[in-house]
Structures are given as C-alpha cells and as structure tokens.
C-alpha cells in the first residue's frame, strides 16, 4: 500500500493484455523485495524512453501532465524523483512534489517551488477528478504530497464536494513556496 486506496502491484505486460501476478505466480521467482526492484527498474527504463508530456498552463498554476499509451505510465509515480528530473528537468528542493495518478495512462505532478503551487494543487485536483471519472483504468481522483518518499493524501471528495487539506507540514511547505 503506497497510501490508502493506492497499491503497488507487480504486473506483466503481455501482447494482448496486462496480468497482475498473485503470490503463487511469484513463488520461486525471487523475494518480493527483489521483484519489486525489478519492476522499478522497468519503470526507470520507461522513464528513459519517449513519453509524452506537457505543461498544463491554462489554469492558475501550471503542472506537468505525462501521458502515454503504456499501462504503466501512472506507475512512474513509484520512481517519482527520477521521473520528474528526467521528464522535466526539475528537482525537489525539500518542499516536496504534488502528484496525481488519475488513471493508468497519466501522471500529473508539480514540484512545490513557487507561489503558483497552491493554484496548481487546485487545478491538478480538478484535472485528476475529470480523468478519474472519464478515462479507462481509473486509479485515484486525489492529489498527494510526496516528500522524502513519504506519501500523504492532501485532497478528498467529501459528500461529492472537493476538499483540499492544508494542514501540518504540508501547509508549511505550501506557505514557504509563496
């Protein structure tokens, strides 16, 4: 479990489908830690390849949207720092990264680096919700804050109404970017 509602699973991309592996399928192939590291190595290879991306600047706060036909595009969030640096040349300078994985073909992110990060959070949340409900392979409508490889959910839908949680260390990180 990466965060409640988001799981890291091992899957194999076959010519006609993607298969999620069970514990029985994995037995004899190595330890779970070794297999997860092999999976992350495959994600790093995906990062090194050609992925489509674009800065979404039509809202108040720009963020990066990575899209690809690969079923594993959203999984790039598992190697987030490396993906962000390779894809957009940005680095997390200690305040963390906002990230959303609305469906299996998309990764949305924004390094918390400027006052517009607060607006980007709201715009990303809207984009994540739309993609989650419209795209195939929905994962999560929420935005997460990733800092020091620790994930925290910072948005939710309460009774169908969008809510952003600006509290604790996250509120401090966002305010410092202002």
Joined together, the tokens standing for residue 143 give 């935005």
Whether 58 shows a pLDDT value over 70: the answer reads no
Residue 94, classified by CB atoms within 10 Å of its CB into exposed (0-12), middle (13-18) or buried (19+), is exposed
Whether 34 shows a pLDDT value over 70: the answer reads yes
101, 107 Cβ separation under 8 angstroms: yes
Joined together, the tokens standing for residue 96 give 């963390």
Q: Which residues contact 69 (CB under 8 A, 6 or more apart)?
A: 105
Distance CA 26, CA 42 (A): 17
64, 80 Cβ separation under 8 angstroms: no
Q: What is the mean pLDDT of residues 115-130?
A: 91
Where residue 30 falls (left for φ over 0; alpha for ψ -120 to 50; beta otherwise) is left
Quick one: what percent of the chain has pLDDT higher than 90? 33
**H helix intervals, the chain:** 23-26, 32-48, 80-88, 116-134, 168-177
pLDDT at 159: 86
Q: What is the mean pLDDT of residues 34-58?
A: 75
pLDDT at 110: 94
pLDDT at 172: 85
Length of the chain in terms of residues written = 178
pLDDT at 55: 52
- In this predicted model, what pLDDT tens digit does every residue of 62-102 receive, in sequence order? 899 888 777 788 999 999 998 898 888 888 878 999 999 99
Beta-ladder partners of 110 = 98
Whether 165 shows a pLDDT value over 60: the answer reads yes
Residue that wins the pLDDT comparison between 87 and 112: 112
Residue 60, classified by CB atoms within 10 Å of its CB into exposed (0-12), middle (13-18) or buried (19+), is exposed
Whether 142 shows a pLDDT value over 90: the answer reads yes
Quick one: what percent of the chain has pLDDT higher than 70? 93
């Amino acid at each position: 479990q990466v965060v409640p509602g988001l799981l890291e699973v091992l899957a194999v991309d076959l010519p006609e489908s993607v298969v999620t592996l069970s514990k029985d399928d994995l037995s004899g192939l190595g330890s779970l830690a070794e297999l997860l590291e092999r999976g992350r190595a495959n994600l790093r290879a995906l990062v090194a390849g050609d992925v489509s991306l674009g800065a979404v600047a039509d809202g108040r706060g720009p963020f990066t949207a990575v899209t690809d036909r690969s079923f594993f595009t959203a999984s790039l969030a598992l190697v987030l720092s490396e993906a962000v640096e390779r894809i957009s040349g940005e680095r997390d300078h200690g305040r963390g990264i906002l990230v959303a994985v609305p469906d299996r073909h998309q990764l949305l992110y924004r390094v918390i680096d400027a006052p517009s990060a607060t607006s980007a959070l709201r715009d990303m949340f809207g984009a994540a919700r739309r993609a989650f409900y419209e795209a195939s392979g929905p994962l999560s409508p929420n935005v997460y804050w990733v800092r020091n490889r620790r994930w925290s959910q910072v948005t939710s839908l309460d009774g169908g109404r969008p809510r952003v949680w600006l509290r604790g260390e996250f509120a401090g990180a966002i305010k410092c970017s202002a």
